[in-house]
């Protein structure tokens, strides 16, 4: 199977995946919209606003942190105390092989060593030949970030809707270019 096809298949699965937090947010938005609609005494302008979808509530990375080893990246970004925390809350993200995120991506991030092994292993997030062009790695492409035009691209993480700062993406690309070592 070609790498492009694998990326498309993986992205399709990730795009279709919604975390429990997203579902709860969606449900609470629906509930609050319903209660707002019923409490507004038939004002058509108010009803129209309630029907419009709210803008996603992104969490923007401040780009803080330093270092380009896996330990640095895990501590600052991907681990339980990291800003993007891959394991997430409950069973929704990549906490275990029983989690929704693992089922869709074969990526689990329960601890530092296991997270690295999963990134380099069956998830195919980072492959050996990605060192030549980290920008085209699946890992970089799946992470939510702003492109050159300022448009938010990428699909991960789902909860929170975290947007990686350019400095953080550069650290990740450097780690990949350096061989994606621990």
Question: Is 112 inside a domain boundary?
Answer: yes
Question: Is 8 inside a domain boundary?
Answer: yes
| Total domains present in the chain | 1
> With a cut of 70, which residues of the chain have pLDDT below it?
1-53, 87-92, 96
Question: Is 182 inside a domain boundary?
Answer: no
Q: What is the pLDDT of residue 99?
A: 72
Full-model pTM:
0.68
Q: What is the pLDDT of residue 140?
A: 96
Give the domain range for residue 131. 3-51+58-177
Q: Which phi and psi (to 5°) does residue 152 adopt? A: -80, 125
Q: What is the pLDDT of residue 105?
A: 82
Question: Is 47 inside a domain boundary?
Answer: yes
Question: Is 35 inside a domain boundary?
Answer: yes
Q: What is the pLDDT of residue 40?
A: 40
Q: What is the pLDDT of residue 31?
A: 33
Q: What is the pLDDT of residue 1?
A: 47
Helix H segments across 1-123? 3-16, 20-39, 44-51, 70-73, 100-105, 112-120
| pLDDT tens digits for range 45-94 | 555 555 566 778 899 999 999 999 999 999 999 888 887 877 666 556 87
């Amino acid at each position: 199977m070609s790498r492009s096809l694998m990326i498309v298949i993986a992205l399709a699965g990730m795009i279709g995946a919604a975390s429990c937090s997203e579902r709860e947010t969606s449900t609470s938005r629906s509930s609050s919209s319903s209660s707002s609609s019923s409490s507004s005494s038939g004002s058509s302008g108010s009803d129209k606003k309630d029907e419009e979808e709210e803008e996603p509530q992104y969490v923007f990375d401040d780009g803080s942190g330093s270092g380009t080893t896996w330990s640095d990246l895990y501590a600052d970004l991907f681990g339980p105390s990291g800003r993007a925390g891959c394991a997430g809350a409950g069973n929704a993200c990549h906490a275990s092989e029983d989690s929704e995120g693992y089922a869709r991506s074969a990526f689990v991030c329960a601890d530092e060593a296991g997270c690295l092994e999963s990134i380099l292993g069956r998830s195919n997030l980072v492959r050996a030949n990605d060192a030549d062009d980290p920008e085209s790695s699946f890992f970089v492409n799946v992470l939510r970030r702003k492109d050159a035009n300022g448009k938010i691209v990428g699909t991960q993480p789902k909860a929170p809707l975290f947007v990686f700062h350019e400095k953080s993406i550069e650290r990740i690309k450097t780690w990949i270019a350096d061989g994606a070592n621990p």
